[in-house]
Amino acid sequence: MKVHRILIPTDFSESSKSALKLANFFSKTYGSKIDLIHIVSFSLYMNESMDKLGLPFDMEQDLYPKVIEKAQIEIDQLASDFIMESYLGKTHVLVDRKPSKAITDFANENEYDLILMSANGAHESTFLKGSITDKVIRRAHAPVFTINNKYSSSGFERIVTAIDLSEHSLASIPLSLELALQFDASLELFYMSQLYSSDGYGFVAPSVGASNDEAEEIFIQKVEGYLEDHKKLGLTLEKTSEDFKYRFIKNDGASSLSVPVSLKVIQGISASLEITNYANEHADLLALTTHGRTGIPRFFIGSTAGQVVNHVDVSMLTIRPDNFKLG
């Protein structure tokens, strides 16, 4: 897994510091350098903080420099408090009306390997959740790791990876396996067999979803085909004696590692609802890709990803397979 450079957006709230707790783990594991970024929103500042500047003041001479100077001091202190000096990169303060665009443009232009961001912002608001997080997930080339406030420095114990059996969704498996190994966490692959299908013109008709046994058979075929097409991953799949229980074997030269994994098949109508409900009950980390087999194909992007990130109560990792490379 390549995580040389990490970008952490922050709005200085207590909630936004949750991402900083995880950053040191990646640095210690992969030798990553960590950069922090804060986007100055003038509309927010002028609504809430104008009185702190004192009057009278000049917009060009007083307002802009003071806002940026204050933010720079705060972000430098935050970096010093949370990030080990040997892993600390640079701190950045930018001015923009659209925080999500500023974050993704900066991350994409500077080719970061990972974006770590908190699920909530100031006053437990949705500053870094909902529209901003959704837009960052849509636009960012790098994986986006959204950290829930419940995260503790002990890491993750239960990882659920949502798949739709397309090659795009299966691309989340190698990264999920690596995280399961690093955190010593259980790994479960979640597959929803859809009970209704659309004819493409807005009409929805009943569709017989695959039975559990059929879904398991399809799963094995699809995963084995994916691993055959991506031999450089060094992964093989083995079925155990238990139903819906498998192990992935990671071959690394003379040594090999075995990672147990289970498959959960649910028949349902709404992918976002089923994913959200299952993750909230059975996971502390949800992983999914941002492309799938339905629609244009956008099973895990657009409305589905937006609904999941807005309602899921656990940390979430989204991956764009066309941009993210393991190794």
Does the pLDDT at position 20 exceed 50?
A: yes
C-alpha of 8 from chain center: 12
Q: Are residues 141 and 165 in the same domain?
A: no
Domain end, chosen from 128, 147, 166, is at: 147
CB count within 10 Å of CB 181 equals 15
Tell me if 72 is assigned to some domain.
yes
Structural domain for 179, as ranges? 158-319
Tell me if 152 is assigned to some domain.
no
94-128 pLDDT, tens per residue?
988 888 999 999 999 999 999 999 876 554 544 44
Does the pLDDT at position 209 exceed 60?
A: no
Tell me if 188 is assigned to some domain.
yes
Q: Are residues 312 and 168 in the same domain?
A: yes
Q: Are residues 63 and 200 in the same domain?
A: no
Tell me if 74 is assigned to some domain.
yes
Q: Are residues 128 and 47 in the same domain?
A: yes
Here the CATH number for the domain that contains residue 303 is 3.40.50.620
Q: Are residues 175 and 133 in the same domain?
A: no
Q: Residue 161 contacts by C-beta under 8 Å, 6 or more apart in sequence?
A: 172, 173, 176, 187, 188, 189, 190, 286, 287, 288
Q: Are residues 173 and 77 in the same domain?
A: no
pLDDT at 25: 87
Tell me if 67 is assigned to some domain.
yes
Confidence of residue 165 (pLDDT cuts 50, 70, 90): confident
Total structural domains in the chain?
2
Decide if 22 contacts 79 (C-beta within 8 A).
no
The percentage of the chain sitting over the pLDDT mark of 70, rounded to a whole number, equals 76
Domain end, chosen from 117, 147, 177, is at: 147
Token couple for 145:
């790791």
CB count within 10 Å of CB 195 equals 13
Q: Are residues 172 and 61 in the same domain?
A: no
Decide if 283 contacts 160 (C-beta within 8 A).
yes
Decide if 240 contacts 261 (C-beta within 8 A).
no
d(CA 168, CA 164): 9
Domain end, chosen from 86, 115, 147, is at: 147
Q: Are residues 124 and 19 in the same domain?
A: yes
Q: Which of 232, 266, 263, 270 is nearest to 247 (CA)?
A: 263
Tell me if 324 is assigned to some domain.
no
Q: Are residues 98 and 174 in the same domain?
A: no
pTM for the model: 0.84
Element (H, E) at 158: strand 158-163
pLDDT at 127: 46
Tell me if 153 is assigned to some domain.
no
Q: Are residues 238 and 307 in the same domain?
A: yes
Average pLDDT over residues 154-169: 86
Check residue 84 and report its DSSP letter.
-
d(CA 318, CA 287): 6
Q: Are residues 55 and 128 in the same domain?
A: yes
Tell me if 327 is assigned to some domain.
no
Phi, psi of 46 (to 5 degrees): -70, -25
Average pLDDT over residues 190-217: 61
Q: Are residues 167 and 93 in the same domain?
A: no
d(CA 88, CA 256): 33
25-75 pLDDT, tens per residue?
899 989 999 999 999 876 655 554 555 555 555 554 555 677 888 899 999
DSSP secondary structure letters along 26-77: HHHHH--EEEEEEEE-HHHHHHHSGGGT-SS--IIIIIHHHHHHHHHHHHHH
